[in-house]
Amino acid sequence: FGEPGTKQLVVPSTTFGQAEEIADFFADDPIDAPLVNAINLGVLTSPIFTVFLMHQFDGEGVYGGVFTYGDLDKTNCGDLIAYQALSSATYWEYKLDYVSAGGFDTKLGLYAISGRPRPVCRHLIGGIVYDIQKNNMIVPSDQPGNCWLALFPFDSLFVPPQWILGDPFIRQYCHTFDYGRQRIGFSPSLQK
């Protein structure tokens, strides 16, 4: 993992590929993700990885962020605020206690808003308030004077209502994924 000329994570004896479909007879075969294989082989100093994302929303060939494998990112991320236990490790899910963003109704889904007022979105996770500032949650639109709110609910017939906080939340707070202890940690991004 990593760009040529940078410090890279090398995972020996790992085949990397993508499957669109897997036959039923593979159901009992061990298929580990490359990072899980690195953890199992003891390649990492700790079974964690930290994600830092820049504020920008798009652009090809631009610096977008850093994955730090086996450690905290002390260059781009501040002190760890807290860890939150996972409610399910499947998609790194954790309990979100509360969300507010001014007077928005959370039942509509996609919001087109004026590009001028820039609300702060507030999340309560594990008793701690995490605010997402305007520069991280508003996506420019191709419609003059409008932009999009980059947070949305995810409803499914098979699971209770959920939110995908995604990139806006990761831009505001670096995420430390602790594979060994099944938890996720949040620390403030140091970018201005």
pLDDT digits (tens, 9 = 90+) for 123-133: 889 999 999 88
More confident site: 103 or 53: 53
Residue 5 lies in a domain: no
190 contacts: CB under 8 Å, gap ≥ 6: 75, 76, 77, 78
- Give CA angle at 94 (89, 100), nearest 5°: 155
* Token pair of 1 as six digits: 């993992």
Q: Which residues pair with 173 in a beta bridge?
A: 188
**pTM of the predicted protein model:** 0.79
Domain count across the chain = 1
Region 126-147: mean pLDDT is: 82
Q: Which residue has the higher pLDDT, 31 or 61?
A: 61
Q: Is residue 183 part of a domain?
A: yes
Q: Provide the residue range defining the domain that includes 97.
A: 77-188
Task: Find the angle CA(83)-CA(87)-CA(66) to the nearest 5 degrees.
Answer: 50
Would you say residue 75 has pLDDT above 90?
yes
- Residue 1: inside a domain, yes or no? no
CATH number at 109 reads 2.40.70.10
Laid out side by side, the sheet with 98-100 consists of 98-100, 121-125, 128-132
pLDDT at 46 over 80: yes
- Element spanning 168, H or E: helix 166-172
Q: How many CB atoms lie within 10 A of CB 124?
A: 14
